[in-house]
Chain A
Amino acid sequence: MSSKMTARAMGPGMTKDSDDRRLLSREECESILERAHRFARSGGETRIGIFTWWQGELRWGRNRVTLSSDRRNVMLGLERSVPDGRTSAGRITTNQFDDVSLEAAVRGAERISRLAADPGWGLGDYPPLPVYPPHKGAPVWSDATYDLSVEARSEIVRSIIEMVEAEGMLSVGYLEVRAAASLAKGTELPELRTTDYSMWDSEYQRWTNAQLSMTVRDPAGTGSGWAGLSSYDWGRIDPEAIARRAIEKCLASRNPVALEPGRYTVILEPQAVAELVSVMLDTMSNREPPENSAMSDSPWYLGVDEHLMLHRSKLGLKIVDERITISHDPADPLLGLPLRSIEYPGPVTWIDRGVLTNLGHEFATDVKALEGRHTLRGPVMAFRMSGGDASIEEMIATTKRGLLVTRFSNIRTLDRKSLLATGLTRDGVWLIENGKITKAVKNFRFTESPLFALNNIEQLGEPVPVFRAMPIPFVSAMPAIVPALKVRDFSFTSLIDAV
């Protein structure tokens, strides 16, 4: 070995500076936005936002690290609509922020704005939305994540690989630590904020995100196990526990037998529950504007009240088991989210003891139709799902015949109205007979709706954080706390022999 690694995270030719230059600071972002805004002085509306991000990545396969990386970029998004108040904004994205590039971007946005047709709304059409004071919720930044050095990552993965090699298995996985920050500055005169809320200000916020996931494979190709976790805080991720889980699942999943498709009682681990429930939560992000309701295939559209000539939704109706509550409180230490100034900073409950209480928001609909019940929050990003206190062991012990599922993969919605979805089990399915796991079972394709599953719950486990990774660096994490569930009559429609 030609050089010794010291305890500090510095390598040859590097200084502490380069490590601290990973994100643009608040001052740097403010200066850039100020300079850019100076070029947009001829009226109209302008919003300029900056995203600055950094990722430290470590990927491995077949028990050897395949790539260690440090990647950094900046995204400057500029929206400008020219002064007559009735054209759509032109949008330009660039990653250079010197004066010359900024001015070119502003001019470019103006040109583009002139291309757009009259959107049908403009100055005065939008009632004002409340602007909340800067949000101080649960932490979204962790020094443990930001300071996880190249050596530390390497050491963690070396240990994991050793554990896997000791069992004679092959591992493949990915560790990523990420930090990002954003700042946006909108039109100077609040009275002129007439277009949709994306044109508004948002404070400088920075956040971190960490993830570790790994798959352990049997060299003979008959078994596969997976485990993973994500969090803003690397300190909440236990690599050894993840490795142990993935190894155990791999060992236990070898030489699976084929079972007949059909309806089974299933014990879904939290990861699988999160994936299934997301099918439902993803549709709660945008309420259909009433004009489109006649064509609506939204699962939450109920129909037309012909006497009152109103479109009705399922708000206020019980849609799932009363033991299910799905909510988000930005003050929840595990569910911190960076919020924009026009996003409601308090708790939001989408499903309250089985009753649909809130839907996500379409800007125009929300403002006009939900006066007084305003809880504007973007798509359902982070959530906590209620549970119970049954452990997975208890669920197994009380199952006469059923299946234990690690996670799902390749989920696709088949019918939006009923939320009937199809997907595959992956990385471990086991048969339970008379309260005990008896065999590893080959993977299945399921055809099931989360609405059906959440109406056929037998037992609920304790909610725990699950793995939720955003592949795009400048989008914040989407933490979720989800329980394991025992569900009856879950429909598996065909056998697949993929491992």
Chain B
Amino acid sequence: MVPVSEFGVDAVIVSRRDLLKAGVGAAALATIPRPLLAYFDTGPEPVPPIGDGRIKELAFRAVEAALAVGASYVDVRLTHTRTRNFMYSFVENTRDSEELTVGVRTLVDGYWGFASGHSWSTDEVVRLGREAVYHARVNSLGRERRVELAERPVVVDVHWETPVEIDPFEVSPFEIVDFFRGLEYYTARDPEFKLEGQGAQFEVKEQAFACSDGTYITQRLYGSSGSYTLTYRPEPRVSIGWQLAGLTRASVGWELYKGQPLREQIDRLREEMREFWKLPIKPVEVGRYDVVCDALSVARLIDGTLANATELDRALGYEANADGTSYLNDPFGMIGSHVVGAPALTITANRSEPGGAATVRWDDEGVEPDEFTIVKDGVLTDFQTTRESASWLAEHYRAKGVPVRSHGCAAAEAGIHAPIQRRPNLVVAPGKGEVGFSDLIAGLSDGIAVEAMGVDIDFQGLNGFGGGDRVYEVKGGKRVARIVGAGFLFRAPELWKNLKALGGPNSVERFGLQTVKGQPMQTAFHSVTAPPALFTGVTVVDALRKA
């Protein structure tokens, strides 16, 4: 048994006051390395930073073991993930987790096998390499299957880190908790308001990727997010909750919170919520309307429809037993020609925008993602791809004279999971001029405006049902009433074809969204940047009304 003092911390006795008095940065307390162990040939050692050469050796042991038993392709992911959650309920506390996992994926005769576990040791990675091949081989006895992996350059010994201003794990948890307590007290100055919510989450994932073609890549990726709701109780038995903006998932550090004028936002929201409450209530009137949607609503509409429908594996039916398929049900026939929306609609994708929730330097197949266009001037131009699925579009790409390459959408939640195609960051091109949400409303003589629409979409990304509490009647360019119980019924092709106007470049906002996919299920994050928009001919119904 190892005595406590060897680790230099007498944690039971040290109190926070003592730390502050001693001037020992509380940050130091937070940076004492968590000595999870890796089992290199030299014996167990605290897990080194991901750039350590011994991790590379370990990864290639797995590759060798798999090649030795007949794999034609192997890739390996070792991940070391740390998360810190500040849970906000009536008591603040934190939940910390730290995990080491490793996964090996192999290809034999067109069949994939995968094995993963939790020990960074030679014995284990060799076992995984053999087990993965075993799985692939057993299934390759079935019908013939061809897998072609779109080419990518071999990259060796490269390293990338998400550029963050303030590493959240270098910040003392005391400081972080004080920050949130400060916001709570600030909000509570006005007794009708309260700050509530789920809290803040920080994640750092160090990962190593090795491949049988010699590629070796290491990355250190950060993700931060939070969910806080400002609750307004103007009267007993009435409670209105609006989310604080700007705290959705992003690949940034503690600056997600520190860098934002949250007190100013709280002040502004308090005013807006009071205005909202003062508006007369109007019951919903069923009909077709011109509707102005804020940036968040547009982001959710895009994500549920086109982002969903342009995942190529989904469009070909591979997720039909899980979340569903795509309304773009003939990808090979539709790509390059099918009109999916008004000419004002252009959507690009990337995994490179600074702070984007899906931003990486290399994806989980070693591909450097490129920026690509999914929809151009209303026409479907491309799909989201991995190395395998990109090759399904080879004919199309060759006919267009563009390289047959993966767009870099492969992602595995951690080493324990096999990589699958996930959404990249999406950007809806804004319109022209200084047009924002209020300007779009000002230009509307008769219609509806909606903020923070909740979007429910069917299993083909086709028919949707939107709703929410922040729905306004607009008359003569002004919000004159708030509408209760409104539901928006839409069908993706008609919705996007009826896009009449988009906010300008200064009106765009970015949101981090979470999706789940696959069997077994994995979660992933990506950003959607969108401006507010005006749609015509949107069907509005009474959401709570039965047939």
Chain A: residues with CB nearer than 8 A to chain B? 1-3, 5, 11-14, 18, 38-39, 42, 55, 57-59, 61-74, 82, 88-96, 98-101, 103-104, 107-108, 110-120, 150-151, 154, 158, 161, 170, 172-174, 176, 213-215, 217, 221, 224, 226, 261-263, 294-295, 409-410, 412, 414-415, 420, 422, 424, 426, 443, 445, 447-448, 471, 473, 491-494, 496-499
Contact = CB atoms under 8 A, between A and B. Distances in A.
B329 A62 contact: no
Given A14-B131, A498-B459, A154 B70 contact: no
A92 B96 contact: yes
A131 to B, nearest CB: 26
B93 interface: yes
B87 to A, nearest CB: 9
B532 interface: no
Contacts of B236: 294
Interface of B: 1-2, 4, 7, 9, 11-12, 15-16, 29, 34-37, 44, 46, 65, 69-70, 90-101, 103, 111-118, 126-127, 130-139, 141-143, 145, 173-174, 177, 236-237, 239, 313, 316-322, 324-325, 327, 329, 416-418, 456-460, 462-463, 465, 489, 491, 519-521, 541, 543-547
Contact of A88 (B12, B91, B491): B91
A217 B118 contact: no
Given A14-B134, A66-B318, A116 B92 contact: yes
Contacts of B126: 13
A387 B132 CA distance: 46
Contacts of B15: 114
Contacts of A118: 91
**Looking at A116, A172, A263, A294, which has the most chain B CB atoms within 10 Å of its CB?**
A172
A72 B116 CA distance: 6
Nearest to B112: A67
Contacts of A412: 456
Nearest to A226: B321
A66 B536 CA distance: 43
B14 to A, nearest CB: 8
Contacts of B316: 61-62
Nearest to B131: A70
A498 B97 contact: no
A116 B91 contact: yes
Nearest to B117: A72
Which 4 A/B pairs are nearest by Cβ-Cβ distance?
A11-B134, A93-B97, A491-B546, A68-B135
**Looking at A62, A104, A118, which has the most chain B CB atoms within 10 Å of its CB?**
A104
A74 B459 contact: no
11 contacts: A14-B130, A38-B1, A68-B111, A82-B12, A90-B96, A96-B100, A100-B35, A172-B317, A176-B520, A410-B459, A493-B546
A153 B443 CA distance: 62
A498 B111 CA distance: 31
Contacts, number: 287
Contact of B134 (A150, A158, A424, A493): A150
Nearest to B463: A496
A108 B34 contact: yes
Given A67-B114, A92-B97, 17 more contacts: A64-B143, A68-B114, A74-B118, A88-B91, A90-B93, A90-B96, A100-B44, A103-B7, A115-B94, A119-B90, A120-B90, A172-B319, A409-B458, A447-B547, A493-B541, A496-B458, A498-B459
A169 to B, nearest CB: 11
Contact of B127 (A18, A90, A447, A492): A18
Given A13-B69, A68-B135, A110-B12, A103 B4 contact: yes
Contacts of A39: 4
A429 B195 CA distance: 46
B114 A150 contact: no
Contacts of A98: 37, 44
Contacts of A213: 321
Contact of B16 (A73, A74, A114): A114
A103 B138 contact: no
A189 to B, nearest CB: 18
B261 to A, nearest CB: 26
A91 B95 contact: yes
A23 to B, nearest CB: 12
A291 to B, nearest CB: 11
A412 B468 CA distance: 13
A409 B118 contact: no
Given A18-B131, A96-B36, A71 B546 contact: no
B463 A154 contact: no
Given A61-B317, A68-B135, A90 B94 contact: yes
Contact of B96 (A74, A112, A217, A420): A112
Contacts of B545: 447, 493
Contact of B173 (A112, A263, A491): A112
A7 to B, nearest CB: 13
A68 B321 contact: no
A71 B142 contact: no
Given A96-B118, A471-B520, A11 B9 contact: no
A5 B36 CA distance: 39
Nearest to A22: B117
A116 B4 CA distance: 23
Contacts of A68: 111-114, 135-136, 138-139
Contacts of B325: 217, 499
Nearest to B103: A71
A215 B459 CA distance: 13
B141 A5 contact: yes
Given A61-B317, A92-B97, A111-B11, A71 B138 contact: no
B37 A64 contact: no
A12 B139 CA distance: 15
B97 A65 contact: no
A294 B142 contact: no
Contacts of A116: 91-93
A466 to B, nearest CB: 16
B203 to A, nearest CB: 13
Contacts of A111: 11, 29, 173
Contacts of B90: 119-120
Nearest to A92: B96
A310 B464 CA distance: 43
B321 A214 contact: yes
A471 B520 CA distance: 7
A484 B127 CA distance: 47
A168 to B, nearest CB: 15
Given A90-B94, A103-B7, A107-B11, A70 B115 contact: yes
A73 B138 contact: no
Contact of B135 (A61, A69, A221, A410): A69
Contact of B544 (A64, A414, A471): A414
A172 B318 contact: yes
Given A73-B118, A114-B16, A447-B546, A154 B138 contact: yes
B94 A112 contact: yes
Contacts of B142: 64-65, 154, 158, 161
A252 B246 CA distance: 49
A89 B91 CA distance: 10
B131 A91 contact: no
Contacts of B98: 92-96
A464 to B, nearest CB: 21
Given A55-B520, A90-B94, A115-B177, A493 B547 contact: yes
Contacts of B46: 100
A220 to B, nearest CB: 10
Contacts of B313: 61
A494 B489 contact: yes
Contact of A96 (B37, B139, B463, B543): B37
Contacts of A492: 547
Contacts of A65: 111, 139, 142, 145
Contacts of B114: 67-71
Given A103-B2, A107-B7, A66 B112 contact: yes
A426 B325 CA distance: 12
